[in-house]
A and B are shown apart, each in its own frame.
Chain A
Amino acid sequence: DVKVTQSSRYLVKRTGEKVFLECVQDMDHENMFWYRQDPGLGLRLIYFSYDVKMKEKGDIPEGYSVSREKKERFSLILESASTNQTSMYLCASSSTGTTDTQYFGPGTRLTVL
């Protein structure tokens, strides 16, 4: 079974703090994704990566950066957290191959005070 894990289920941070969200997948997938999920807005793509050290902006990259130093790990960084970044953050991975199915982690609910 594909397993995608995220470092924290719940996180509370203060405005202005630097926040790291970590994601690890164990299926040797090339592609990794970060989404945020908000009520009524569905899942919105923040950043994605199709290879180590490669990254591409998604639909809402402002206020975020990412790092992919190893194939299995994809980190989302909030350089200076703001209250409008309070959200559920979901990581996903997929293989470049026969299907594009993305497999999701359990999510991190981030609250910025």
Chain B
Amino acid sequence: GESVGLHLPTLSVQEGDNSIINCAYSNSASDYFIWYKQESGKGPQFIIDIRSNMDKRQGQRVTVLLNKTVKHLSLQIAATQPGDSAVYFCAEVSSWGKLQFGAGTQVVVTP
């Protein structure tokens, strides 16, 4: 899951397994959340988003779950592939379109 600190949390997943990446957010008033993927040497790429009036949203091989009661967000990746190896960030929209990012989770896919 996400944490703030010098070392990025790492999730090691075997190819073909499902991945679950967790994120705790801070502002209970946030009404929009985004997951980004950042591959080495590249900028973050949008994966999926969810509004606070939903508790689940599905994309292609990805599902985001939102639990507002405990201010928790998760990203599930089905059938993880080598190309899914990256750092994953959750972001909450605070005031006026500004994003507050989590520290990120490194996902390593092993054969």
Contacts and interface: CB of A to CB of B under 8 A. Distances in A.
Interface of A: 4, 31, 39-43, 45, 48, 50, 58, 90, 92, 94, 96, 99-107
A90 B101 CA distance: 13
A22 to B, nearest CB: 15
B93 A104 contact: no
A90 B44 CA distance: 9
Interface residues of B, number: 25
Contacts of A40: 5-8, 103
B66 to A, nearest CB: 16
Given A40-B6, A90-B43, A101-B46, A31 B101 contact: no
B45 interface: yes
Nearest to A9: B41
A50 B104 CA distance: 26
A100 B101 CA distance: 14
Contacts, number: 57
A67 to B, nearest CB: 20
Nearest to A44: B101
A80 B77 CA distance: 44
Contacts of B49: 99, 101
B103 A102 contact: no
Interface in B65-111: 89, 93, 96-99, 101-104
B24 to A, nearest CB: 14
A106 B98 CA distance: 20
